[in-house]
Copies of this chain bind each other. A is one copy, B any other.
Amino acid sequence: MKNVPAMKHGFKFSLLLMMVLIAGCNMEEKTDEASRQSVPVFPKGEILSSDNFTGTVWLHMMGAEDSTLYARFGNVSFEPSARTNWHSHPGGQVLFITEGLGYYQAKGQPAQLLRKGNHVEIPPNVVHWHGAGPDTEFAHIAISLNTDEGGAVWLGPVTDEEYAGLDK
């Protein structure tokens, strides 16, 4: 029975190895989850320096190079609680949500919760805002349409009181 101590150590060692394996397995999942969250579908672009937004917002303009399209479009990314000011578009706009979770609200209407895969149609001259949820990042492609009608008309910020009232 001289192998017993070795077997005993083997048993302890295998228990230790199991713990390492379980930890490693979980760690791999978390790393994978983190890397998945950090790779957006469309480029994030640069931080936008503009008085028309609250919080940190990134913009990657994508066009239109061909002015005959009468459209302007780009990818807009919002840190949690970041948002546009109230504004409207003379030719309307469409948003395609590509990351995270956020809101669209037309003036006088309840806010709509938006997730990756949703889209929003914003008719001409409807005053509205869009942006991230309080604790969630958010990104969408924004396409301003019929831009021969004119550029966006910017109004005042969505106040903290208006934003805090989202879930009521």
What are the interface flags for A86-102 relative to B under an 8 Å C-beta threshold, 1 for contact and 0 otherwise?
A: 00000110101010000
Q: Are A92 and B69 in contact (CB under 8 A)?
A: yes
Dominant secondary structure at the A interface: mixed
What are the interface flags for A139-166 relative to B under an 8 Å C-beta threshold, 1 for contact and 0 otherwise?
A: 0010101100000000000000000000
**With contacts A116-B41, A117-B43, A119-B62 known, is A141 near B96, CB below 8 A?**
yes
Q: Are B71 and A94 in contact (CB under 8 A)?
A: yes
Complex Cα spacing A124 to B108, Å? 38
- In the complex, A103 has a CB within 8 A of chain B: no
- In the complex, A110 has a CB within 8 A of chain B: no
The residues in A between 4 and 18 inclusive whose CB is less than 8 angstroms from any CB of B are: 4, 7-8, 10-11, 14-15, 17-18
- In the complex, A58 has a CB within 8 A of chain B: no
**Chain B residue at minimum C-beta to C-beta distance from A141:** B96
- In the complex, A29 has a CB within 8 A of chain B: yes
Complex Cα spacing A36 to B50, Å? 36
Q: Are B143 and A94 in contact (CB under 8 A)?
A: yes
| 4 closest cross-chain pairs (CB), A and B | A25-B25, A14-B14, A69-B92, A66-B123
The 22 sampled A-B contact pairs (Cβ below 8 Å) are A1-B1, A1-B4, A14-B18, A17-B18, A18-B18, A18-B21, A21-B22, A25-B28, A28-B29, A41-B41, A41-B98, A41-B117, A66-B92, A69-B94, A69-B123, A69-B124, A71-B92, A71-B94, A73-B94, A94-B143, A96-B141, A143-B143
